[in-house]
Amino acid sequence: MGDRKARFEPQFIELFEKNSAFGAGNCVDAKYTLVINNSRTEPGYKIMISRKNAEIDMEVTIIETASKREVAKYSIKSSPGRTFGVSDYDTGARIEESYAAAGKYFGKNLMDDIK
């Protein structure tokens, strides 16, 4: 739970905001709300002779905050978490990169869909 708030959510939000025209975060008077459900987390691994990237699958649902009406739904599959060097041994760092990649992908695709 601590990594979700401290590492995963901030990375998703940061890359989403960089790749879209929208702000994100806790805003009680926002017109729309993003609901993110992570359905799969593969933490990956790093041992001396082998490594595997982390991956996550998630669904992002956009709802109208006031009415709770669903506006759009996106699926993100196998968002990769790649790290190199010393942090490559840290499972949380690999998963954090998966959330960053998902935020970037979602932000770009949302902007493409709006155009």
Domain residue limits, the chain: 2-114
- Give the predicted TM-score (pTM) of the model: 0.89
d(CA 31, CA 16): 17
Fold observed for domain 2-114: Rossmann fold (3.40.50)
Amino acid at 26: N
- pLDDT tens track, the chain, 115 positions: 588 888 999 999 999 999 998 888 777 788 999 999 999 999 998 887 888 889 999 999 999 999 999 999 999 999 998 876 665 778 888 999 999 999 999 999 999 988 7
d(CA 38, CA 23): 21
